[in-house]
């Protein structure tokens, strides 16, 4: 028996570690650094219907144990991604989560419909929580009626399981999670970035060209854990935990809070090998903490 294996809708993972969308490009750069077959699952950068340039630079800024980004969903658009980028993932024997975004419900529907037909795509992750675009993005993710409606619509046209990625920038994340559950979501990913800002001391204006940006990295870990814990105790959907993970202990904290698997984002920028390193350390740490299996750990946390 594989003590590290976890199974989520559409994602049969040999371990609970996958990269986070937007922090792993379209996989190729990491594929040159290590064998991606080591990972529990793979993920795409957000895909939108049309190509997007994204925001002007500066797009990134440093913060204490964290960073801000305002990339603004730069991507080549659905057609080019399908034609040029998805085939890369076929060489790996690992499930693939396709992260999708849009400015309108119709856009989400089209992208979901087409991507879910691609044989390499195991499941979709609806990004309704991007704080860096003027239309759609986070505004979809902060109103429970819109979330319910959007998830229901996307579910109708999708042939693979649908995960909904939630924003922590809300008064009550449980309410939003329940709306996604009611809409038919197969799982939840939480959290996306917190809305933040830095000022440029010389210009006295916001440092990012976009003004605000999304905060990620270790700084947000306690907020992410709280969101996972709250939602794990209020819904029965499987949860992919994310936010600030950079060590094997962080991973275990998320599973103890109720997550079934985790994503690692910003930590890849500090150490590109962080995912395989953590995977490598998992079993030893489980032994030290008397954890028999990870699926069992999540089950206990949610019982």
Partner 1 sequence: MSLQCLAKIIENQEIAKDIFQLILEGDFVEKIEQPGQFVHLLIPSQKTFLRRPFSLASYHQDKNQCTILYKILGTGTKELAQLKKGTSISLLGPLGNGFFVNPLYEKVLLIGGGIGIPPLYELGKEFQKKGTEVTFLLGYRNQEEVFYQEEFAKLGTVITYTEDGSFGHQGRIDAAFPTLEKDWNAVYSCGPTPMLKAVKENFSNQYPTYLSLEERMACGFGVCYGCVVAQTKKKTPLKVCQDGPVFLATEVEL
Ligand X SMILES: Cc1cc2nc3c(=O)[nH]c(=O)nc-3n(C[C@H](O)[C@H](O)[C@H](O)COP(=O)(O)O)c2cc1C
Q: What three-state secondary structure class fits 228?
A: helix
Buried residues in 163-181 as b, exposed as e (16+ CB within 10 A): bbbbbbbbeebeebbbbbb
Residue 156, class by beta-carbon neighbours within 10 Å (0-12 exposed, 13-18 middle, 19+ buried)? exposed
* Interface positions with a copy of itself (CB under 8 A): 63-66, 68, 142, 169-171, 194-199, 201-202, 204-206, 211-213, 215, 217-223, 225-226, 229, 244, 249, 252-253, 256-257, 289, 297, 300-301
The listed partner (partner 1, ligand X, a copy of itself, none) that binds 21, CB under 5 to 8 Å by sort, is ligand X
Q: Is 71 annotated as a binding residue?
A: yes
Q: Does 22 bind ligand X (CB under 6 A)?
A: yes
Q: Scan for tokens 């969101």, then name that residue.
A: 227
Query: Which residues have a Cβ under 8 Å from the Cβ of 102 and sit 6 or more positions away?
Result: 48, 49, 108, 111, 136
> Based on CB atoms, which residue is closest to partner 1, 6 or 73?
73
Looking at beta carbons only, is 13 or 124 nearer to ligand X? 124
Partner residues linked to 215 by β-bridges: 68, 194
Q: Give the residues across from 119 on adjacent strands.
A: none
Comparing CB distances to a copy of itself, the nearer of 115 and 239 is 239
**Interface of this chain with partner 1, residues 189 to 208, rule: CB under 8 A:** none
In the complex, the residues that contact partner 1 under the rule CB under 8 A are 22-25, 29-30, 33, 45, 51, 53-54, 57-67, 69, 71, 74, 76, 217-218, 266, 268-273
Binding residues for FMN: 21, 45-46, 99, 127, 165, 191, 217, 243-244, 265-266
């Amino acid at each position: 028996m594989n003590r590290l294996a976890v199974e989520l809708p559409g994602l049969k993972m040999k371990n609970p570690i996958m990269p986070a969308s937007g922090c792993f490009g379209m996989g190729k750069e990491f594929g040159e650094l290590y064998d991606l077959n080591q990972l529990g699952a793979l993920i795409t950068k957000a895909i939108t219907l049309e190509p997007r340039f994204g925001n002007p630079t500066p797009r990134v800024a440093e913060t204490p144990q964290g960073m801000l980004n305002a990339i603004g969903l730069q991507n080549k658009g659905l057609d080019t991604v399908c034609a040029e980028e998805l085939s890369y993932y076929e060489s790996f024997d690992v499930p693939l989560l396709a992260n999708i975004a849009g400015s309108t419900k119709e856009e989400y529907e089209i992208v979901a419909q087409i991507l879910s037909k691609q044989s390499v795509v195991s499941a979709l992750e609806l990004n309704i929580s991007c704080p860096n675009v003027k239309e759609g993005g986070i505004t979809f993710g902060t109103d429970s009626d819109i979330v319910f409606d959007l998830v229901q619509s996307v579910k109708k046209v999708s042939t693979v399981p649908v995960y909904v990625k939630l924003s922590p920038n809300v008064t009550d994340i449980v309410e939003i999670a329940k709306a996604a559950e009611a809409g038919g979501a197969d799982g939840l990913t939480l959290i996306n970035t917190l809305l933040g800002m830095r000022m440029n001391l010389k210009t006295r204006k916001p440092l990012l060209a976009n003004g605000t940006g999304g905060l990620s990295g270790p700084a947000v870990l306690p907020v992410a854990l709280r969101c996972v814990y709250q939602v794990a105790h209020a819904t029965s959907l499987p949860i992919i935990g994310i936010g600030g993970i950079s060590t094997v202990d962080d991973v275990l904290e998320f599973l103890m809070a109720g997550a079934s698997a985790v994503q690692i984002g910003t930590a890849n920028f500090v150490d590109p090998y962080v995912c395989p390193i953590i995977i490598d350390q998992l079993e030893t740490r489980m032994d030290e903490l008397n954890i028999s299996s990870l699926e069992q750990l999540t089950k206990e946390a949610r019982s």
